Structure 1
Amino acid sequence: MGDGAGMDKNTVHKTNRFYWNTKGNDHLGAIVLPLYGAFVSEEKCQLFGDVSGKKMLEIGCGNGQSLQYQGERKAAELWGMDISEKQIEKATQHLTSCDLSARLICSPMEEECGIPEDYFDFVYSIYAIGWTTDLEGTFCRIASYLKKDGVFIFSWSHPIHKCVALENNSLVFNKSYFDESWYSVPLDLSGEGLLTLSDRKLSTFVNALAKAGFVIEQMVEQPDDELMLSRDEDTSDFAKKAKMLPLTFVIKARKR
C-alpha cells in the first residue's frame, strides 16, 4: 500500500496526537540526542559536525531535549515542530529552564505551517519521520526548508527490526519485510486510544529522498557495542537482537 492508502490521514493525526499528548514521554529516553535510538549515538557517528552559528529545525521536537543538545553546541537558531500541543508545552518549559530560546510550532509535519523556506542549515528528526502519512510530501517540504547544500539527518526504527522476534535465543521472522500496510496498536492494556503507523522498507525512504532532491551522504545501522556494555544491557533480549541485526537506522542527506 502507498502512504495513507486505506487510512484516513486526519484519523492517524488524531490518534497519534493523543498518544504524544498522554503517553509519549514514557518512551523518549533513548530517542533524544545525542542518542538516535537504540545503541546509536551522535557522539560516535559525528553526523552533524560543528553546528555553531547554524540554523536548526527539528521535526518532531518532543520535549525539547534534542534542541537543548543543539543549543548547548552554540547553534544560532533553534526551531521545532511537533504534532502534540502537550509536547510543545513541555519543550517550551524545558528550553526556558535551560536559558535557550526556540521558535516552536504545533503542526503535523505534512502541512504548511509558516516555517521559512531556503533558510535552515540543518533539518533533523529523531524517531519522528516514520509517523508521517505522506513520506514523499514530507521530504519535499523538508527540502524546501533547507538552504542549497543544507543537511537533513533523521533516525527511525530499522524496518528489519519490526519483522524479527527473538524466541528461545533464535531469531524468527514474524512479519513480511515488504508489508507496508498501516496498522494500529493499543496505547496500553486499558485499550484507551490507538497508535497508528506503517513499517516502510528502507528502499521506500531512499527513493522518497531521491525524489525530493536529496543525495544520501551517509547511513548508519551498526549498533555501538560500547553503548550496549555501558548500559548493562548486554544480556537483555534487546541487546542480543541488536548484536545480530540493526534496531535503528540513521540517514544523513544533502539538498542538491
Structure 2
Amino acid sequence: MASEDEPVAKAAYDELADTYADEVRTNPYNADLEFPATSSLVPDVDGKRVLDAGCGTGAYTEWLLDRGADVVGVDVSEAMLAHARERVGDRATFHRADLAAPLEFAETDAFDGVVSALALGYVEEWRESFSEFARILEPGGFFVFSTGHPFDQFPFGGDDGRANYFDVELAEKNWEVDVPYYRRPVSAVVNPLLESGFRLERLLEPRPTERFEETWPERYEKESRYPVFLCVRSRLS
C-alpha cells in the first residue's frame, strides 16, 4: 500500500512496470477489450496536440504518434515512463506527474485533446483532475477516457456488508502484487465531467472482440454478458 504522501498505486506500478510493458500488448483485457473501444472514441488527431494522461508504458502514446499527433505523456511511475521512453524514443515528450495534482508543466489551452486509459481509477477526486484537463484544453477540445466499470468493481452480493456503492471507496486488485484503486458509482464518473465544463458525446461498455474469444475462450462468454470497462468521449464546451 502506498504511503500517505505518495499516489495510491505508484509503488505497485513501479514494481509491475516490467511485466506490464509486456502484457499490455497481448493481454486480452487490454488488447481485445479496452483498447479497441477506447481508441474508437478518439477523433482524428493528425497534427493535434494530445496529452496521454497516465501513459503507463506508452501503448496509447505510440498509437497516437502513429496517427500524426504531437504527444506529451505523463505518469506518476518513473519505472513505467522508462518503458514509454524506450518504446517511442524522442517522438514524444514525457513528464512525471500526478493526475491528482495540477499539471504545472502545461500552459492553459495547451492541448487539443486528452486521452486517459485506465489511469483515473487511481485518483480519488475527479473534479480537480477534470477541471485541470479543462484548463489545459482549448475550447472544443476532446477528452477520451476509460475506467473500470462501476458494476464490475462493486461486490454486489459478495461483500461483507460494509461496502457502499454510492461512495468512492478504496479497494484492491491482485496481479503479481496488490494494486490499490478507487471504485465509484456511475454518478461519480459522469457528474464531475459535466461540472468541469465537458459535454458527454458517447459512452461505450465494450464487449470482447473475436480475437479475445480465440485467445481466452473460457473468459469470453462471461465478459460478453457482464461489463468490465466504461469508455467515454466528451468535449469541452
- Under TM normalisation by the shorter chain, which class is it? 0.7 to 0.9
Match of 2:15 in 1: 22
The counterpart of 2:67, out of the listed 73, 76, 82, is 73
2:218 is paired with a residue whose SS is: coil
Q: Percent identity?
A: 22
Any conservation in 1 of the 2:130–2:192 contact (CA below 8 Å)?
Answer: yes
User: Residues 135-167 of structure 1, C-alpha deviation per residue, up to 9 Å, x if partnerless?
Assistant: 110011111111100000001111111235xxx
* 1:148 aligns to 2:148 (yes or no): no
Give me the whole-angstrom Cα distance separating, in 1, the residues matched to 2:168 and 2:153. 11
Partner AA of 2:191 in structure 1? N
Give me the whole-angstrom Cα distance separating, in 1, the residues matched to 2:131 and 2:3. 20
Give me the whole-angstrom Cα distance separating, in 2, the residues matched to 1:40 and 1:19. 21
Which structure 1 residue ranges, 5 or more long, are not aligned? 1-8, 165-171
User: Residues 104-162 of structure 1, C-alpha deviation per residue, up to 9 Å, x if partnerless?
Assistant: 11011122221122121110111001111321100111111111000000011111112
User: Residues 162-194 of structure 1, C-alpha deviation per residue, up to 9 Å, x if partnerless?
Assistant: 235xxxxxxx732453353223566647xxxx5
More helix by share: 2
Distance apart, 1:203 and its partner CA: 1.2
Match of 2:230 in 1: 249
Match of 1:109 in 2: 99
Give me the whole-angstrom Cα distance separating, in 2, the residues matched to 1:177 and 1:155. 19
1:11 is paired with a residue whose SS is: coil
User: Residues 23-81 of structure 1, C-alpha deviation per residue, up to 9 Å, x if partnerless?
Assistant: 1443463589xx86762443796312321111110111111121111111111x11011
Give me the whole-angstrom Cα distance separating, in 2, the residues matched to 1:102 and 1:120. 14
Which structure 2 residue ranges, 5 or more long, are not aligned? none
Q: In the TM superposition, what are the counterparts of 1:104-183 in structure 2 within 5 Å? A: 104-112=94-102, 113-163=104-154, 173-175=157-159, 177-183=165-171
Any conservation in 1 of the 2:17–2:79 contact (CA below 8 Å)?
Answer: no
* RMSD of aligned alpha carbons: 2.8
Q: In the TM superposition, what are the counterparts of 1:205-220 in structure 2 within 5 Å? A: 205-220=189-204
Partner AA of 1:161 in structure 2? D
* 1:62 aligns to 2:45 (yes or no): no
Partner AA of 2:57 in structure 1? N
Distance apart, 1:228 and its partner CA: 2.7
Moved more, 35-44 or 134-143: 35-44
Partner AA of 1:251 in structure 2? V
Max Rg structure: 1
Any conservation in 2 of the 1:30–1:38 contact (CA below 8 Å)?
Answer: no
* 1:95 aligns to 2:83 (yes or no): no
Partner AA of 1:152 in structure 2? F
